[in-house]
Amino acid sequence: MKRLGLSIASLLMVALAGLWLPNTAVSQNTPSSASKEQPLPQTGDNAPLRLEIWGGIRDLYRIAVPTLGDSALAASVQADSALDFKLSNLFQVIEPKSYLANASAEGMSIEKDPWLQVGAQGVSKCQVTKSGGQVKLECKLFEVAQGGTAVLSQTFTGGQTKPLVHKWVNKVVGYFTGQDGIFGTQLLFARSMGKGNKQIMVGDWTGPGAGRVTKNDSINLLPAFGPGGIYYTSYVEGFPWLYRTGQRAAVLKEPGLNMGATFHGDKMAVVLSKDGNSEIYMGNADGGGLRRLTNSGSIDVSPSFSPDGSQIAFVSDRHGSPQIFVMGTGGGGAKRITYKGNYNQTPCWCPKGGSGLIAFTGMEGGGFDVFTVDAGSGQMRRLTQNQGRNMDPAFSPDCRSVAFHSSRGGIFVSNAEGLNQNLVIKGGADTLRWR
């Protein structure tokens, strides 16, 4: 960028690192670990308990997860079930060692009193069997107050237990909230491998690891889920061009930068510097029909679509420091939405329909943390504090959770208020995407 005297190479580093300007940032709305949400009231003695997702205070629903069947498979199903329920941010999983009920003797039903005595409100009971390389998972959900009649029953078959557990827990979440869970979705990110080697990785968001998407010896960065595959910028041919998995030729190879692609349906927003300055363009997923949206003479990077595709959040230093802005997809009329802090970057718009909530990275006292801001009101919330460096947030598809990378050891996931933080994937990561 000529105004700042940046070369293309240094501009790339600016865009990736978020403009690296040391300053102080947001400090408000620090979450309290005691903050919870209350469940919605029942409408009758036998009415199912509905859990409030977007409310203020919630008591976690206490659930037990006994598993029957082949001992090795049962242990795996029980562990995966407990983890999924915990990560859902809706349930408190009761420790199996505290069970008073004889789960095996009960079979695929329950005796009410022993579960009440350990404080269980619900019991998720599964039985796993394997035959001819196929796994069968039969699961039932009991609301303890209603006794041994299941309120939800499902049977799944497949080659591995973990995807089947994901499907079951999604149904349980749907039973209580009216919207199925998002287990089985994936996190996409870039990871440094050392010696100038950076690769794109993707994996189940519950961990424990991820596999490589790119397998070259170059720098690959800024990945995004898009039509027909995963898009990313790579130096594999010596220039920062935009590529897509399953396609050998570059999608975009304009002079300078081709990076930061993001999608809404078959529409793509992307950062190009072909005119000598980093600007946001919009076009088709195949790279055609590009038109320039920004023209500020400043650094404009990190586009993120609103849920309905009518707006784009992005980062610009047009007011002197990197801040989050929002503009229509027609371009022009950009509105600044962050005013607290001198260094805000990497916006990610909550994909829930009608939401104006945007997660982003901010700096305070020389360290990075995760925040959210409402695009309409400008109200901000802090999700992390005094927990190391926390960056590059990504909303889950249902917006109930936020993933981010932390210097504490890898990718963490919390609820939308920053509570119930759990390490899900170990190791370095940046520019997270979730789908």
Residue 21 lies in a domain: no
User: The domain spanning residue 254 has which CATH number?
Assistant: 2.120.10.30
Q: What is the mean pLDDT of the chain?
A: 88
Q: Is residue 405 part of a domain?
A: yes
Please answer whether residues 419 and 35 qualify as being in contact, where contact means their C-beta atoms are separated by less than 8 angstroms: yes
| 222 shares its domain with 297 | yes
Is 11 part of a structural domain of the chain?
no
Q: Please state the rounded mean pLDDT for residues 406-427.
A: 97
6 pLDDT higher than 50: no
Among 177, 202, 231, the domain boundary falls at 177
The predicted pLDDT at position 366 comes to 77
Q: Which of 25-29, 67-71, 361-365 has the lowest mean pLDDT?
A: 25-29
Least confident of 43-47, 216-220, 333-337: 43-47
Q: Mean pLDDT lowest for which of 2-6, 262-266, 405-409? A: 2-6
221 and 166 assigned to the same domain: no
Q: What is the pLDDT of residue 58?
A: 58
Q: What is the number of domains present in the chain?
A: 2
Query: Could you tell me if 211 and 328 lie in one domain?
Result: yes
Does one domain contain both 155 and 273? Answer: no
Of 177, 195, 215, the residue that ends a domain is 177
Residue 234 structural domain: 185-434
Same domain, 225 and 133: no
pLDDT digits (tens, 9 = 90+) for 390-411: 999 999 999 999 999 999 999 9
Residues 147-187 have pLDDT tens digits of 999 999 999 999 999 999 999 999 999 999 999 999 999 99
In a domain, 160, yes or no: yes
**Same domain? 272 vs 302:** yes
Does some domain include residue 420?
yes
Same-domain status, 171 and 219: no
Sheet holding 211-212, edge to edge: 211-212, 197-204, 186-194, 430-434
- Here the CATH number for the domain that contains residue 79 is 3.40.50.10070
Task: Please answer whether residues 383 and 425 qualify as being in contact, where contact means their C-beta atoms are separated by less than 8 angstroms.
Answer: no
Instruction: Answer yes or no: is pLDDT of 51 > 60.
Output: no
More confident residue, 57 or 354: 354
Same structural domain, 208 and 161: no
- What pLDDT does residue 181 have? 98
pLDDT in tens, 301-352: 999 999 999 999 999 999 999 999 999 999 989 999 999 888 999 999 999 9
Does residue 384 fall inside a structural domain? Answer: yes
Q: Region 5-31: what's the mean pLDDT?
A: 37
**Does 51 reside within a domain?**
no
Residues 415 and 326 in one domain: yes
C-alpha distances out from residue 200 to 151, 286, 424, Å = 42, 20, 17
The residue with tokens 């050998």 is: 248
State the pLDDT confidence band at 29, using cuts at 50, 70 and 90.
very low
pLDDT value at 141 more than 60: yes
257 and 134 in a common domain: no
How much is the pLDDT for 7? 36
Q: What is the pLDDT of residue 1?
A: 33
CB 239 within 8 A of CB 250: no
Buried b (16+ CB within 10 A) or exposed e, 158-188: eeebbbbbbbbbbbbbebbbeeebbbbbebb
Question: Tokens 């497949």 — which residue?
Answer: 158
Q: Is residue 3, in this structure, part of any structural domain at all?
A: no
Global pTM value: 0.87
Domain end call among 112, 146, 177: 177
Residue whose C-alpha is closest to residue 213's, from 233, 238, 184: 233
Tokens coding 392: 């590059």
Q: What would the pLDDT profile of 354-404 be if each residue is shown by its tens digit?
A: 999 999 999 877 789 999 999 999 999 999 999 999 999 999 999 999 999
Phi, psi at residue 162, to the nearest 5°? -60, -50
Burial class (CB in 10 A: 0-12, 13-18, 19+), 112: middle
Same domain for 214 and 154: no
Residues 294 and 405 in one domain: yes
